[in-house]
Structure 1
Amino acid sequence: MRILVSGISGGLGQALAARATTHPNWELVGLARRPQGFEIEMDVTWSERRILQALSGIGPIDALVCLHGADIVSAPMRQAPFLERLQVLYEVDVAGTVKLLRATLPLMKPGAPIVVMGWDQATLGVSGEAGELYALAKGALTSYAKSFAAGHLNQVTVYIVAPGWVMTRWGQSLSPQRRARIASRTRSGHWQTADEVAQVVETLLSLPPTVVTGQVIYVNRGDVMPS
């Protein structure tokens, strides 16, 4: 099973790569802006033509996992103007995913699973600039992914994984006090681990094709339970 993974150098990407080692028939093909090994160099903010060129020659793929995402809550982007942060989120999380899905569709085997990353609170209304920004980006991405699933029912299977607070590099950069405050605002009182999210992605990649397509999979320890 050849799985194309964007953002493989991040926390979620590394967690998925670790889980892939338990599957002898899995081959992860990583995409990274700054490849450090066998990854393919690619930036989702590139033009559609350049992305197609980067992917040329890789051959058929059995699955696509989109783990790339912009960081607008760490310095220096944290202090940037609202619309500048929105533009970065749009170019990476929204337009970048759209370009990647469109570029890889011809390479997909019938029923191939596609996983994109949403946000568990994207449609719930979250106060503050960061909440507004992520709601704009992840809400748009979720709607697009559902439409993409509807338009390609017989070609691919689309899952929107919507995690809550995940302990990635950004979370690890916070002070213990701030991490504790964030955890205290969740129902479970805990952050999620990158491995927990990766385990869900691992499971989705093994499901029968087209059975559960265009659906949002909430991965948040019950913190958000939309009706």
Structure 2
Amino acid sequence: MSPTPPGRIAIVTGAARGIGAAIAHALTEVGWRVAGVDRSWSGEDEACAIRETLDVTDYEAVANLVARLEAEGEIGLLVNNAGITRDAIAHKMDPADFRLVLEVNLVGPFNACRAVLPGMRARNAGKIVSLTSMNALRGAAGQANYAAAKAGLIGMTKSMALENAGKGITVNCIAPGYIETEMTRAIPSQLREAELARIPAGRVGTPEDIAGTVVFLASPAADFITGQVISVNGGQLMP
């Protein structure tokens, strides 16, 4: 069985760099035609057959993109990866930063799901994978907004999984642990070392670790997996 139906389109949000870029590369390698979405692009990323500059918090813009892509082929996969942080202790957090993180990290994935689900339901097939976080499961000081958005994403995923399982659509989350990205490289070295000491695997994760899990969940091998949170954290958190 082919891991990917020929010509089917995968949308990856936040695809310009880091984990999103790794996911786009991995999906391209197994045959998906990747439509990468990001707020801005730099250079040429050959992994994305289609590159779109888009704000995922704008539902009309997301819906218009999905309509254009559906005119070219079937959208078989949505990967909700785009996300931001605006960290601060809760009693000092700017309420605007709380709302902004929820808009991008939770409303954005809803917008994308809302736009692709009618087509997937009409075809009785489709995969949705959303990137949540280890901090959604354990909380994190200074990230009340981020943890809340990512925890909400888990609840949304489970609800959509229940609603769409009978239509042959799977909806799952991946909860990355400490992954080597531009964001984590900016963490002070003392804090980085402390985080590494908590990882039983003895190393930080890589974007490719997450990308490989996306490829699995997008494959026929995962057709009977839905409504789940797959932790990819080297054993750091075992709920």
Amino acid at match of 2:85: D
> Unaligned stretches of 5+ in structure 2?
1-7, 45-49
Percent sequence identity over aligned pairs:
28
Moved more, 179-188 or 211-220: 179-188
Query: What is aligned with 1:110?
Result: 124
Q: Displacement, 1:82?
A: 4.2
**Helix, strand or coil: the match of 1:39?**
strand
- Determine if contact 1:111/1:209 at 8 Å carries over to the other structure: no
**Helix, strand or coil: the match of 1:186?**
coil
Q: Displacement, 1:17?
A: 2.4
Q: Displacement, 1:58?
A: 0.8
Q: Displacement, 1:210?
A: 4.3
| 1:170-191 per-position Cα deviation (integer Å, ceiling 9, x unaligned) | 1122343332122123333421
Amino acid at match of 1:214: G
- Determine if contact 1:162/1:217 at 8 Å carries over to the other structure: yes
Pair 1:96 & 2:108 matched: yes
Q: What is the aligned length?
A: 220
After the TM superposition, which residues 1-227 of structure 1 pair with which residues of structure 2 at under 5 Å, given as runs? 1-23=8-30, 25-35=31-41, 38-46=50-58, 48-59=59-70, 60-73=74-87, 81-108=93-120, 109-124=123-138, 126-130=139-143, 132-155=144-167, 156-208=169-221, 210-226=223-239
Q: Displacement, 1:209?
A: 6.0
**Helix, strand or coil: the match of 2:200?**
coil
Greater per-residue helix proportion:
2
Query: What is aligned with 2:3?
Result: none
> Unaligned stretches of 5+ in structure 1?
75-79
**Helix, strand or coil: the match of 2:37?**
strand
What is the TM-score normalised by the length of structure 1? 0.86
| 1:41-90 per-position Cα deviation (integer Å, ceiling 9, x unaligned) | 221111x223212332211211111110012249xxxxx83423221111
**RMSD of aligned alpha carbons:** 2.5
What is the TM-score normalised by the length of structure 2? 0.82
- Determine if contact 1:82/1:129 at 8 Å carries over to the other structure: no
Q: Displacement, 1:144?
A: 0.8
Amino acid at match of 1:54: L
**Helix, strand or coil: the match of 1:149?**
helix
- Determine if contact 2:102/2:146 at 8 Å carries over to the other structure: no
Partners in 1 of 2:207 and 2:80 — Cα distance? 15
**Helix, strand or coil: the match of 1:62?**
strand
